[in-house]
């Protein structure tokens, strides 16, 4: 089985290792999904089940636990071989810049992504700490149950993140939103993740820097995010798992940079204001 697996996925591992822009990455993701689907069918000897929730949801229907696990790990290999490291590196630079300038990072998500957001914010604030140096200010917007339920009760779920950002967000701050579909799908409650999109739009319109971490070609995140990290396999099980992998890669690289950079505690470099925000402000006030 191991040899067969390697043969089936040898072409996938080298399918397209070059770094691409967001548009090309979307095309690559769709291509990889189709190739992975065919590979899984060969590996398991059976056809895929029809999609349970979404079109092109990647997950094999296998006869044995062993075949399923083998298929799952092969999906992980596809992601590792094809994820866009350049975008992740850009996000590290954004967060490093935010630390140097004393800006704040706000992280938020819904459902499982809310747990990921809480973990990410904790690592940004705690794991990156370097003795004797200023700390990175990071907060999770989906943790305060009293705030979230009061806001939802009085103002509605759709503005729960936008409303909090209106009270805390400053030009140059960073927002990180996590979502499997990036606000592009819908359920019984209407379009998913629209509260994420509204929060990101507010930050975008007010001089912020936005980062989206998603799957399924990024969903709607690229419309309002300066940087969108996309897990390149259309599988919820893999996307959520690799959100944590990406966040830890960011955290520990960021910690290395902070150790190397000499900023004493309580001292920050001059704050930077987003260029688009300056232009917008001047056009409205002059």
| pTM reported for the whole predicted model | 0.74
Two tokens, residue 16: 């397209």
Specify the pLDDT at position 205. 96
Specify the pLDDT at position 194. 86
- Angle (CA) 281 282 286, round 5°: 125
Specify the pLDDT at position 280. 62
Q: What is the DSSP letter of 210?
A: E
Domain with CATH 3.40.50.10490 in the chain: 85-278
Quote the CATH superfamily of domain 85-278: Glucose-6-phosphate isomerase like protein; domain 1 (3.40.50.10490)
- Angle (CA) 50 54 55, round 5°: 65
Specify the pLDDT at position 67. 82
- Which among 223, 177, 243, 228 has a CA at the least distance from the CA of 22? 228
Specify the pLDDT at position 61. 67
Return the residue matching tokens 């989906």. 142
- In angstroms, what CA-CA distances link 152 with 117, 199, 200? 19, 14, 18
Residues ≥6 apart with Cβ < 8 Å to 56: 30, 33, 234
Specify the pLDDT at position 75. 85
pLDDT along the chain (286 residues), means of 10: 41 38 47 50 40 49 80 87 94 96 96 96 96 94 96 93 96 96 63 82 96 92 95 90 97 95 59 54 65
- Which among 274, 268, 266 has a CA at the least distance from the CA of 101? 268
């Amino acid at each position: 089985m191991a040899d067969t697996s390697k043969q089936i996925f040898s072409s996938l591992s080298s399918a397209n290792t070059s770094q691409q822009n967001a548009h090309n990455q979307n095309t690559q993701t769709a291509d990889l999904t189709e190739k992975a689907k065919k590979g899984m069918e060969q590996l398991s000897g059976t056809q895929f089940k029809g999609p349970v929730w979404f079109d092109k949801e990647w997950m094999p229907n296998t006869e044995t636990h062993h075949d399923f696990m083998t298929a799952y790990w092969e999906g992980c290999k596809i992601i590792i071989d094809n994820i866009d490291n350049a975008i992740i590196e850009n996000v590290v630079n954004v967060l490093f810049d935010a630390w140097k300038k004393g800006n704040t990072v706000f992280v938020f998500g819904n459902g499982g992504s809310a747990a990921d957001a809480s973990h990410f914010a904790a690592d940004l604030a705690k794991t990156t700490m370097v003795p004797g140096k200023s700390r990175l200010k990071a907060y999770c917007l989906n943790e305060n149950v009293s705030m979230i339920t009061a806001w939802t009760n009085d103002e509605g779920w759709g503005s729960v993140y936008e409303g909090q950002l209106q009270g805390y967000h400053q030009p140059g701050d960073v927002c990180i939103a996590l979502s499997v579909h990036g606000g592009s799908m819908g359920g019984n409650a209407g379009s998913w993740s629209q509260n994420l999109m509204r929060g990101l739009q507010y930050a975008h319109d007010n001089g912020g820097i936005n980062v989206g971490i998603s799957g399924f070609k990024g969903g709607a995140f690229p419309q309002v995010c300066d940087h969108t990290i996309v897990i390149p396999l259309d599988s919820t099980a893999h996307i959520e798992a690799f959100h944590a992998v990406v966040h830890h890669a960011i955290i520990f690289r960021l910690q290395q940079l902070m150790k190397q950079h000499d900023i004493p505690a309580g001292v920050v470099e001059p704050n930077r204001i987003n260029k688009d925000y300056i232009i917008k402000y001047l056009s409205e006030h002059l």
